[in-house]
Amino acid sequence: MTSLQMSAKEEMVEKFLDAAARGDLTHVSTLLSHAPSLINQTGYSGWTALMLAARNGHYHVVEKLLELGCDKFLVNSSSQTACDIARFWGHRHISNLLGRTDHGCSRILPSSNLDPQENYFSRETLDRLSAKRTDKTWLEAKQSHGDTVYLLFSNLSPMVSDGTAGEELKLCRFRYEAVKDLLQKPASVLVFLGVEKRKSVSPSSQAEPPAWFAISADGDAAELLTRCREKSCSFPKTPNRDLLKFSEEEAGIVAQARAVLAWHSRYSFCPTCGSSTSLEEGGYKRSCLNSQCRSLQGVHNTCYPRVDPVVIMLVVHPDGNQCLLGRKKVFPVGMFSCLAGFVEPGETMEDAVRREVEEESGVTVGPVQYVSCQPWPMPSNLMIGCIAVAMTTDIKVDENEIEEARWFSRQQVVESLLKGAGPSFTVPPRQTIAHQLIRHWIGMNSNL
């Protein structure tokens, strides 16, 4: 008898979930009127009726389920809420409905988009204290303070102490006495990076945490190296490879310093009128010395460090079990990565994803979902990581952009991630957002 009762219950749950997936509002309402406990029942992989309705774009079913008190914060076996699922499939009207807070409730919707993972170069080790950048007295006092830390850069490369094979690089840190002569040189560029974040706050502690500065010094790199007490110091020559060898904490500092210094290296002269510029606000502004220049009127982006937005996307096949990866001629042999491209003026992130994918591979894209972003200080990009769903699958490569593009199965990608090399390709290193996007996709439910 118990076995028959269980079978009947399972059958009713299956009918309820099927009705929600099909968008049959009448059947959903009828079943709930007879058995209200069905509302949060789950089926395969922890999917609820709300998730299935959200997946298939059935707004009125979602609305009814919410009205009857279903739990929109439940997650499936892939840790996705109904809101996550609606957002992924481009049902913005449904994700907006699910994302609303009720009666000022402070509970935060558990969503991967609201809690993006921390990528390499993203760790904020320092408190930037941007409000202090205009306080010249405070900055000057910090520059000569005994605890202040200085980082030396030459040709946009930081001085590092070389680790042995396989070990992390470490930034060489200097005190004021070791660099004060460089601060007097007109060609040197000084950037205030911030102060160290306190790991704990003690009421008895009144001392301010140490400040950090970066110096870009022209001149002989060999002479700069003599200032370091370490036996093996150097300036990395290949940033795309060497700058991936720091700890997560130091990588974030390098990203900030290098991006700002790269901007200074390109804006020594005013891009509006061609006159010389002066450095202000702790290295975060350059002002034209020509009093008649129109850049001095109002706010101009030529006066402040620029960040170039780049979309980088993993395109998922309509079957959910393949992804599109491409390679450029400059890539290491056998490596394939996510497609990427710059966001153009007046263009949304989603439209940039669709345009770049179609231009490079000939594949058209539908829904686009933001995953996370990564500063990329080579020289000053912000990589905006997305997952996108393909609407077509035929590939026609633009050979001016990439050398090859292919669909790779989930199994091929898993083998490449686990073994370091799949049957025919490798993925980018873990420090890249491309690697993290690929890993993110592998962790998703294949039937999304």
Ordered per-residue pLDDT tens for the chain, 448 residues: 444 455 788 889 999 999 999 999 999 999 999 899 999 999 988 999 999 999 999 999 999 999 898 988 788 887 788 988 888 787 878 888 887 644 332 232 234 443 456 799 999 989 999 999 999 999 999 999 999 999 999 999 999 987 655 578 999 999 999 999 999 998 899 999 999 987 644 444 567 899 999 999 877 888 888 888 877 889 988 888 899 999 999 999 999 999 999 999 988 899 899 999 999 999 999 999 999 999 888 877 778 898 999 999 999 998 889 999 999 999 999 999 999 999 999 999 999 999 999 999 999 999 899 999 999 999 999 999 999 999 999 999 988 889 999 999 998 998 888 776 555 789 999 999 999 999 889 877 544 4
* CA nearest neighbour of 224 among 170, 146, 148, 154: 154
pLDDT at 114: 39
342: phi then psi, degrees, rounded to nearest 5: -75, 145
pLDDT of residue 164: 57
Distance of CA 230 to the CA centre of its chain: 34
pLDDT attached to residue 240? 81
Say if residue 144 is exposed, middle or buried (CB neighbours under 10 Å; 0-12, 13-18, 19+): exposed
Count how many residues are written for the chain. 448
* Distance of alpha carbon 429 from alpha carbon 332, whole angstroms: 11
Buried/exposed 164-191: b ≥16 CB within 10 Å, e otherwise: eeeeebbbbbbebeebeebeeeeebbbb
Domains of the chain, each with CATH number or no CATH: 2-99 (1.25.40.20), 126-266 (3.90.79), 308-443 (3.90.79.10)
- Helix and strand numbers, DSSP H then E, in the chain: 14, 16
Using an 8 Å Cβ cutoff, are 424 and 334 in contact?
yes
Structure tokens belonging to residue 95: 């994700």
Exposure of 272 in the CB half-sphere (CA atoms within 13 A): 18
Computed on alpha carbons and rounded to an integer, the radius of gyration of the chain in Å comes to: 27
**151 and 217 Cβ atoms separated by less than 8 Å:** no
pLDDT attached to residue 423: 59
What is the rounded CA–CA span in Å between residue 257 and residue 253?
6
d(Cα 173, Cα 210) in Å, to the nearest integer? 12
0.75 surpassed by pTM: no
Question: How does DSSP classify residue 48?
Answer: B
For CA atoms 44, 54, 413, 393, give the dihedral sign.
positive
The whole-number pLDDT of residue 88 equals 79
Torsions phi, psi for 192 (to 5 deg): -80, 120
Q: Are 249 and 125 in contact (CB under 8 A)?
A: yes
Instruction: Please report where in the chains the tokens 């309820």 appear, as a residue.
Output: 16
Sheet with 211-216, edge to edge strand ranges: 126-127, 189-196, 211-216, 149-154, 157-158
420: left (phi over 0), alpha (psi -120 to 50) or beta: left
- Please list, residue by residue across 193-214, b when 16 or more beta carbons sit within 10 angstroms of its beta carbon and e when fewer do: bbbeeeeeeeeeeeeebebbbb
Who contacts 166 (Cβ-Cβ below 8 Å, separation ≥6)? none
Strands, E assignment, 322-400: 322-327, 339-342, 365-376, 381-390
**234: CB partners within 8 A, 6+ apart:** 159, 160, 162, 225
Which residues are CB-contacts of 168 (< 8 A; sequence separation ≥ 6)? 245, 246, 247, 250
Per-residue CA distances from 361 to 314, 350, 358, 397 (Å): 12, 17, 5, 4
Tokens 């950037």: give the residue.
191
In three-state secondary structure terms, 404 is: strand
